[in-house]
Chains A and B, each alone.
Chain A
Amino acid sequence: MTQALGYLKETASQTAGPYVHIGLIPHMAGFDIFQNNFGNVLVGADTKGERITIEGRVIDGTGVPVSDALLEIWQANADGRYNHAADRQKGALDPDFRGWGRTGAEFKTGLYTFETIKPGAVTGRHKRMMAPHINFWIVARGINIGLHTRMYFSDEQAANEADPVLNLIEQKTRRSTLIANRSERGGNVVYTFDIVLQGDGETVFFDI
């Protein structure tokens, strides 16, 4: 025997189940209970940065959109700084931007959307710059433990090629699963980011 280290063990994950909406996005499930709801619009009138829409679907191993998925995003502001005390980078905080949002897939189409701004680049480990990216977390019925991934931007090709995380992906063909395609629609910038849970084109998920 040795001395006991005495750490606790992390509580086990369980699926969010089919009714996650009533708990986390009741207003999107047609259920009016909270005065203040957490939603998919991260920007206010005074938020700095380029306005973007992110949209896509979570697709299961049979190719069908997951219509009951819940997604959260977490991102730096336009200056590349997270609204959190652990971020001591030089960029300016934006008082009108928390950088976090939550939404559910549309029950009929499986489409999700976020209204946000394009983040700035953030310094990574060993002082290597990370390309602008948005952190995603996905839960749903049938997902036993939340899935972490990142969305990068198709118009940041040079930064993406130098990104320390994308470069960790051994099969170069899989790096594209993390890059959202930029397009314009009615004067708005739209990035399309589908998340494939399984099979051909399976999104790269992280163990972090």
Chain B
Amino acid sequence: MNIQPKPFPDEAESARHPFLPAIDAVEFYQRDRAMHPPAYAPGYKTSISRSPRRALLALQNSLSEITGPVFGHNEIGLLDNDLIRNYAKDRDPIGERIIVHGQVLDENRRPAPHTLVEFWQANAAGRYRHKNDTYLAPIDPNFGGCGRALTDENGYYYFRTVKPGPYPWRNYVNSWRPAHIHFSVFGSGFVQRLITQMYFEGDPLIKICPIVNTIPDQSAIERLIAPLDINASVPADTLAYRFDIVLRGRRSTLFENRLEGN
């Protein structure tokens, strides 16, 4: 079960956490759905029967939308952001050692501090530690494939892992996923909740991937591709990739339009 969270910080403390808006009238910008895959994207076959077909109900934000869960450092283990060590039994996992780092910020370029970022991935051979994954590539006994981190006060996160391998999947007979890492991010309001995937610069499988190509906008696809960040690497040890994540921006209304009573 969840460990119980601390009581919510008092106002003095919330003033030190700029991501917790200390104002009444905030709401998030309308999501630009042209930058997201539609629910129904027939090139990705599983979406055909799992896509709502009726119009979504447009809803202005209320307190139910602008609030969301807060997580604390006491909930995260010391090795949770080190996939090279967090499941290692007797040696490091096989694969290219990499650091993935970046900033979580919003559409206003405002950092998202102290927010939970979670990630999961296949091992270097392209195999997940999951009972539904039957790909013939081997499980690595020293690699779990998941981790998490809280961003710092400026919205930065980082973790260490091995570069995942591409893997085949049943969409077309010969479909392969490009190497990727799955990301889950919270932000400060529940409607900022986002799950996405990070790809690696230079991977030729990106442009023929049916899941990548559910995204209608080419620039939105490019923003999912992490460049090699040689400056952030550890010489003679670990390469680095940079992946920034942008959450929906928050509006502080210029004129009165309060979300709640009083």
Contacts and interface: CB of A to CB of B under 8 A. Distances in A.
**Is chain B a partner of chain A in the same complex?**
yes
Interface in A168-185: 168-169
Interface string B100-124: 0000011111000000001110000
B260 interface: yes
Contacts of A140: 50
A84 B77 contact: no
A101 B4 CA distance: 11
Contacts, number: 309
Contacts of B188: 84, 86
- Most-contacted residue by chain B among A23, A62, A76, A99 (CB, 10 A): A23
Contacts of B14: 85
Interface string A15-45: 1111111111010011101111011111010
Nearest to B69: A100
A14 to B, nearest CB: 4
Contacts of B174: none
A72 interface: yes
A190 interface: no
Contact of A22 (B8, B31, B39, B145): B145
A99 B69 contact: yes
Contacts of A147: 52
Given A20-B120, A33-B144, A36-B3, A11 B195 contact: no
A26 B184 CA distance: 14
Given A10-B247, A139-B195, A202-B52, A144 B38 contact: yes
- Most-contacted residue by chain A among B17, B23, B195 (CB, 10 A): B195
Nearest to A101: B2
A186 B116 CA distance: 38
Interface stretch (B91-99, B127-135, B150-158, B231-239): B127-135
Nearest to B169: A18
A184 to B, nearest CB: 23
Interface residues of A, number: 90
Given A22-B129, A123-B260, A198-B49, A12 B57 contact: no
Contact of B49 (A6, A15, A62): A62
Given A62-B49, A122-B62, A86 B67 contact: yes
Given A36-B77, A95-B7, A205 B52 contact: yes
B24 interface: yes
Q: Helix, strand, loop or mixed for chain B's interface?
A: loop
Nearest to B86: A33
Interface string B171-200: 000000000001010001111011111000
B67 A145 contact: no
A33 B63 contact: no
B35 interface: yes
Given A41-B2, A85-B21, A99-B69, A208 B191 contact: yes
Contacts of A23: 118-120, 146, 182, 184
Contacts of A19: 120, 128, 130, 132-133, 182
Given A17-B197, A208-B31, 7 more contacts: A18-B132, A29-B131, A61-B53, A84-B8, A86-B20, A206-B57, A208-B28
29 contacts: A7-B249, A8-B249, A9-B223, A10-B246, A13-B37, A13-B195, A17-B197, A22-B144, A23-B120, A24-B184, A31-B130, A33-B144, A74-B67, A83-B5, A84-B69, A84-B70, A85-B14, A87-B63, A98-B5, A124-B64, A124-B259, A125-B60, A127-B260, A141-B50, A142-B49, A145-B37, A147-B52, A206-B59, A208-B61
Interface of A: 6-24, 26, 29-31, 33-36, 38-42, 44, 60-62, 66, 68, 72, 74, 76, 82-89, 93, 95-96, 98-101, 107, 122-125, 127, 130, 133, 135, 137, 139-148, 150, 165, 168-169, 197-199, 202-208
* 8 nearest A-B pairs in the assembled complex, by CB-CB distance: A23-B120, A142-B46, A100-B69, A142-B50, A84-B67, A85-B20, A41-B1, A207-B56
